[in-house]
Structure 1
């Protein structure tokens, strides 16, 4: 495991990541910093915690939109249901129960 130092909204954080994960983690931290800074600079939200939550929601929403946008641009809105069922089965494991 390696550790890297990142800065988000002027505050430093030391993060641990697996070997070879430094660049993706740096990129993720930069995205979080950009998003949080944009929310702060808009001036409507002052509390760091609220800024962090809004940034997390914005980034998660953008991530969720990417597969849908890719499917639409490919000319197909169909979802591979079989692949989704397989992924769900793998996630549930031998238990087979969500709860």
Structure 2
């Protein structure tokens, strides 16, 4: 993994290196910050325990918000935005699936 092609982001105090095209770095970092914030909100509520469960709840909440925005005519989401969200979720899923420490919370 070349450092010129990867971005290191921190989510719930854990670092993840994700391969990303140069032109998408800013979007990826923003998405990681947003996800980190959502996951911290869920963790601080005390209702969900474990990083994997927190990640699933955050993904569901973010997806719900996205779908709700699609139903609002003033906030239509373009096809490319949907693809970017799907791509980022797939990357997060891949990192979570390959990281042996993820279930330790």
**Equivalent residue, structure 1, for 2:62:** 59
Q: How do 1:1-99 and structure 2 match up within 5 A?
A: 2-69=5-72, 71=73, 73=74
Higher RCO (CA < 8 A, seq sep 6+): 2
Task: Give the deviation of 1:31 after TM superposition.
Answer: 1.0
Could you say which structure has the larger radius of gyration? 1
Q: TM-score, normalised by structure 1?
A: 0.67
Structure 1 position 19, deviation (Å):
2.3
SS of equivalent residue, structure 2 residue 10: strand
More helix by share: 2
**For structure 2, which runs of at least 5 residues remain unmatched after alignment?**
76-105
Which 4+ runs in 1 deviate beyond 4 A?
none
Q: Kindly tell me the number of residue pairs found equivalent between the two proteins.
A: 72
Provide TM-score, normalisation by structure 2. 0.64
SS in 2 for 1:30: helix
Match of 1:78 in 2: none
In structure 2, what is the Cα distance between the partners aligned to 1:22 and 1:35? Answer: 20
